[in-house]
Structures are given as structure tokens and as C-alpha cells.
Amino acid sequence: MGATLEEHLVATRKGRYDSYLAFLRIPSISALPQHAEDCRRAAQWLADALTEAGLEHAEVAETGGRPVVYADWLHAPDAPTVLVYGHYDVQPVDPLELWTSPPFEPIIVGDRLLARGAADDKGHVHAHVMAAEALLTTRGALPVNVKYVFEGEEESGSENLDRWLAANAKRLAADVVIISDTGFFEGNRPAITIGLRGLMYAQIDVVGTPVDVHSGGYGGVVENPVNALAQIIAALKGPDGRIRIPGFYDNVVALTEAERAAIAALPFDEEAFRQRLGVPALVGEVGYSVLERKGARPTLDVNGIWGGFMGEGSKTIIPAHAHAKVSCRLVTAQDPARIFEAFRAYVEEIAPPGVTTTVRQLGGGRPSLTPQDHPATQAAARALEATFGQAPVYIREGGSIPVCASFDSILGLPVVLLGFSQPDEHAHAPNEWIDLNNYETGIRMFARMWDELAVLPR
Ligand code: BES
Ligand code: ZN
């Protein structure tokens, strides 16, 4: 008799880590043009890994930007077809000096693997490939049909993905989508995400004099762009945490009493959460709990601001210009394009005279809610409980995965958000890590998930 799945996974652990680490060594930062070639290398590496795992039709597919990696295995005629989504691109690594080890030289410290992308999202992508490899090696078949779509632009706005999905709609036909780019709840508690926020990302540019001028000679007679920008930003949100843009809340679907009760029932220690973040207090919109504010209410935040003299010491100028990146996390049924228009109109209205203020959109994505009672979601819950030993909680996450809404609107498919990273994994920050126990159990969980889906009535 051949090895069981578990025996196989134990026997192949070393090679699996070599492979995972090799994937992490490729600096596939999608936002930076100088890493475009690295993104292609990562895509090719992944296509090769899929083929080596026994999957078929692996392809690095052009999108006009960073390529999509596609592969499939379609030999389970009576079983459902699952579309698996993840992303092989990663976030930039600055500030580099805060990393305790280089971001693209992965190292294992105790139970943790440290590297950019270890959790978000190469760990999930790699676990999917390894789950398929283990099933194909030990059983010679998968219990379901699987189509893999691994994107390379998720961290920079997925600009080309919707077009690629629409153009490939026929070959992407499936019964359900599994997106593996979310994680567990506080305390490493298994979770299924049922809500993601959307995003509207914009830049404000404020211009005064053509060049900096002496603040003694001209202070008091020309508007200072940095002051003007500060004034604009201060007017966007009230002390009650409410966003003041007219019409901003128009399409927000309010939480029902039942939804609020479900959120309130989550095992959440607010004080431990505050301490983990190292802040003196948690703040936000009045009338909503922390979990409601971070998962189910919209926000407005400045992501970056610059202008004027930023060197050592002092320099007496009225700066010529000032800039800010501002983004809003959105909830159902806010539309990023409409929110941008409302934002632009309001900023133009409140911009003080004496400077020229322009607003442009840099990106966006729609919010999404996924069905908790869908049979595939319940299959995922059984797979989580069987492997991680604990029934999952259902949570709304504050982050965004714009393609989640696209799978519904473009392909008409239901989505299950199924991942296993941890909330304090330092995603997008220095020293990103993944718990290797989660990664290992995650592989078994994905394999189990295919078995759970295979027996569902179609
Ligand atoms: N994995 C995250 C999304 C996420 C974050 C899910 C937190 C659950 C909790 C994803 O890789 C991501 O960072 N998305 C971007 C999308 C944006 C660039 C459109 C985000 O949320 O900022
Ligand atoms: Zn991310």
C-alpha cells in the first residue's frame, strides 16, 4: 500500500520548505516597475511548481501588466469545479532598516518563517500547490476539478485582472471560488471571512507660488499650500469619527441587529488588542464597537503627506506645493467611483482660495459580502474544524480583495474566503512572518476541503 497523505507530507517536509523558501526569495513587488522582471520570474516559478505538482495546462498568461498564472486539473467528471485564487506579488519592503533579517532571504526562527510574502500571500499559494501535490501523489487524483488563478497585481490594485477574467470567462467556468488571502481571528482562532471592505484611493495636490518663497518676505500675503492641505484634511472628518463628505454614507447598508449581535459575540479582548498595537487608546466613529469599526464601517485615512522643508534644522520658506495620499475603506454598497466623485467635489469646495487644489483617483475596489450559509462555506468550516481542531468564527475583515466582487459580477460565482495567516503577522510591514504550524495544517486543511466539497450534492 502507498503512503497516506499524512505520511507523504511528513516524508516530504524538507523539500517542501526548500521550495517555499525559493518562492519567497523572488522579490515580486508588483508596485515597483524595477521589479517587473522579478514578477515574471515568480510567475514562471509558480507555473513550473504547478506542473511539477501534477497539475495541467500551467500557463503564464499575459494581462497587459503582471501576468496571471493559470493551471488546472479536470478529471473528476461527477464532482464540482473549484476555482482557487491567490496572489504571487508582494508589497514593497520599506522601511528596510526595520527588518531584523533581509526581506527576501527567508529564515526560520522557531515556529515562524520570516520573509516578505510569507503570509500575504505566498504562504497560501504555496500551500495550495503542496496540497494538490500530496493528493495527486498519494491518490493519483483530486476529489474535485480545480482551476488555479494566481494573480500578480493584487497589491497594486489589480488593474488588469477584471479584463482578463472577462476575456477568459468560458475557461474559468466553475461552481465556486476559494480565495486564499485572508486569515484567522485574534488569538490564532480559525476563521472564515464573510466580509471585505472596498477601497477608494486618491491624491490631493495643492500648489501655490511657482517656487518656494521667503516666509518673512511673503508670509501673511500668500496662502501656504501645506497649511491649506492641513485645513482640507482636517475638514474631512469630525471629532466624532464621522466622514463629512456630503453623500458619503448614502449607500452604506446598515448592520442588522442580528449581525451586530454576531459581531458582539466574537471572542474579542479589546484591551489585549490595544496592547498588541501599542497605542494609548482605540478611536473611531461613535456608536460602533471596535470590530464593527474595523470590519463593517467605512473609513477615511491619510496614507502619506509631504511638502515643504523636511531636512534637519530650520528653513524659513512658504513651500510652493503640498501633497497627500488619502484613502477610504468602503462597505457594501458604496461604489468607489461615486465616492471619489463626492470626495473630489467636497475637497474642491472646501479648498481655500490662493492655491490651486487638484484631486485625482489612484485606485479602487468594491467591497464584498460572501454567503455564510452556502454549502461550500460550510464545507470549509468542516475542513477547518477537522484539521485545526476548532470550529471557525465568521468575521468581517477591514482589508480589501477587489477581485472578490469581480468573481460575482463577472463570472457569477459564489466565493469562500479561506486562509490561515494570523492577524499580527506584520503583513505590509517589516518582519512579515507566518506560523509554520498554520502553514502545515493549512495544507492538510485545503486537501480536506476538496474532500468535503466532493461529497456535496451538486
Ligand atoms: N491579504 C490582503 C487583504 C486583507 C487584509 C484581507 C487584511 C484580510 C485582512 C491583500 O493582500 C491586500 O493587502 N489587499 C490590498 C488591496 C488594495 C491594494 C486594493 C489592501 O487591502 O490594501
Ligand atoms: Zn496584502
Answer yes or no: is the C-beta of 82 below 6 A from any ligand 1 atom. no
Q: Is the CB of 432 under 6 A from ligand 1?
A: no
Stretch 31-59: mean pLDDT: 98
Q: Is the pLDDT of residue 184 over 90?
A: yes
Tell me the average pLDDT across 206-230.
98
pLDDT digits (tens, 9 = 90+) for 268-293: 999 999 999 999 999 999 999 999 99
Task: Answer whether 392 contacts ligand 1 (Cβ < 6 A).
Answer: no
Name the average pLDDT for the chain. 98
Q: Does ligand 1 come within 6 angstroms of the Cβ of 89? A: no
Q: Is the pLDDT of residue 21 over 90?
A: yes
Q: Which atom belonging to ligand 1 lies closest to the Cα atom of 329?
A: 21
Residue 97 alpha carbon to ligand 2 centre in Å: 20
Centre of ligand 2 from the C-alpha of residue 402, in Å: 11
pLDDT tens readout for residues 57-110: 999 999 999 999 999 999 999 999 999 999 999 999 999 999 999 999 999 999
Ligand with minimal distance to 406 CA: 1
Residues 225-250: what's their mean pLDDT? 98
Q: What is the pLDDT of residue 457?
A: 82
**Is residue 376 scored above 80 in pLDDT?**
yes
Q: Are strands 213-214 and 191-196 parallel, antiparallel or unpaired?
A: unpaired
For the chain, what percent of residues have pLDDT higher than 70? 100
Mean pLDDT to the nearest integer, 372-387: 98
Per-residue pLDDT at 122 exceeds 90: yes
Count the neighbouring beta carbons within 10 Å of the beta carbon of residue 396.
Answer: 23
Q: CB neighbours (10 Å) of residue 335?
A: 16
Pick the catalytic residue: 38, 133, 151, 154?
A: 154
Confidence band, pLDDT 50/70/90 cuts, at residue 234:
very high
Cis amide bond preceding 435, omega within 30: no
> Is the distance from CB of 376 to CB of 416 less than 8 angstroms?
yes
pLDDT value of position 1: 65
Question: Is 312 annotated as catalytic?
Answer: no
Distance from chain centroid for Cα 153:
11
Ligand 1 pocket test, candidate residues 181, 415, 422, 424, most atoms within 8 A of CB:
181
Q: How many angstroms separate the CA atoms of 425 and 423, rounded?
A: 6
Confidence of residue 458 (pLDDT cuts 50, 70, 90): confident
pLDDT band for position 448 (cuts 50, 70, 90) = very high
Distance CA 442, CA 440 (A): 5
Looking at the predicted structure, is the pLDDT value of residue 452 above 80? Answer: yes
Across 386-409, average pLDDT: 98
pTM: 0.96
- Is there an atom of ligand 1 within 6 Å of 86 CB? no
Q: Average pLDDT in the 429-458 region?
A: 96
CA of 431 to the centre of ligand 2 (A): 14
Mind listing the domains of the chain with CATH numbers? 5-196+367-454 (3.40.630.10), 198-252+298-364 (3.30.70.360)
The yes-or-no verdict on residue 134 having pLDDT over 70 is yes
Query: Is the pLDDT score of 441 beyond 70?
Result: yes
Query: pLDDT for 143-174, tens place per residue?
Result: 999 999 999 999 999 999 999 999 999 999 99
Q: Is the CB of 365 under 6 A from ligand 1?
A: yes
Reply yes or no on whether 154 is catalytic. Answer: yes
The sign of the dihedral angle between the CA atoms of 330, 336, 338, 342 is positive
Q: Which residue owns the Cα nearest ligand 1 atom 7?
A: 399
Distance (angstroms) between ligand 1 centre and the Cα of 427 equals 9
Give percent of the chain above pLDDT 90: 99
CA 400 – ligand 1 centroid, Å: 4
